[in-house]
Amino acid sequence: MQPLERTLKDGAALHRELEALLVDERGALARHEVAGVEAANARRGALVQAIADWEREAAGRLDSKPSGPHPPGAEGPATLRAAVAALPEPERPAAEAALKALAASAVAARHAAAVNHIVLERNLDIVTRTLDLLTGRPSGTTYGPQGGVSRAPGGGLVGRKE
């Protein structure tokens, strides 16, 4: 396996791992498991850093590897697609397949992140509406400027004397 193909496969594996993590996080969100969400967030931070490191490595590979008629040391291809296209024919099909897998896994990870964003927005909306109902007024922000919990002065379901 040539180095560019290995780089592409490594990137695809990282993006598949991120997608799986986001799916796990979505499950924890749906079950309202705070510990599961926090664990996913911690793992996601490390994984996002690994992807950033991979991107730097891939960019370095593009910058340092001349393609086509460039003399050694000249500027290399500007994109992974151009680098794959510049490969000799025997190596190109495997690298093209790896590039397609990378693109598909990156799209899947972005989709999973977008779905999680929607789930979080809906959960926030439900909490906000519940607070509005319980306090008898629009809750706005839950926390005040100093980080303390904003409290509604009577009038809602909480604090009623019956």
Report d(CA 74, CA 124) in Å as an integer.
Answer: 52
Query: In this structure, are residues 8 and 101 in contact, taking their beta carbons and an 8 Å threshold?
Result: yes
Distant-in-sequence, close-in-space partners of 46: CB < 8 Å, separation ≥ 6: none
The per-residue pLDDT for range 62-98, each reduced to its tens digit, is 876 544 444 444 455 678 999 999 999 999 999 999 9
- What are the helix (H) ranges across 65-91? 80-85
Report d(CA 84, CA 138) in Å as an integer.
Answer: 56
Does residue 67 fall inside a structural domain? yes
Report d(CA 131, CA 157) in Å as an integer.
Answer: 10
Q: What is the pLDDT along the chain (162 residues), one digit of tens a residue?
A: 889 999 999 999 999 999 999 999 999 999 999 999 999 999 999 999 999 999 999 988 787 654 444 444 445 567 899 999 999 999 999 999 999 999 999 999 999 999 999 999 998 899 889 988 888 877 665 566 676 665 555 555 555 555
The H or E element spanning position 103 is: helix 92-135
Does residue 83 fall inside a structural domain? yes
Does residue 155 fall inside a structural domain? no
Does residue 159 fall inside a structural domain? no
| Range(s) of the domain holding residue 9 | 3-113
Does residue 38 fall inside a structural domain? yes
Q: What is the mean pLDDT of the chain?
A: 84
Helices (H) and strands (E) in the chain, counts: 4, 0
Nearest residue to 3 (alpha-carbon basis) of 78, 80, 61: 61
Q: How many domains does the chain have?
A: 1
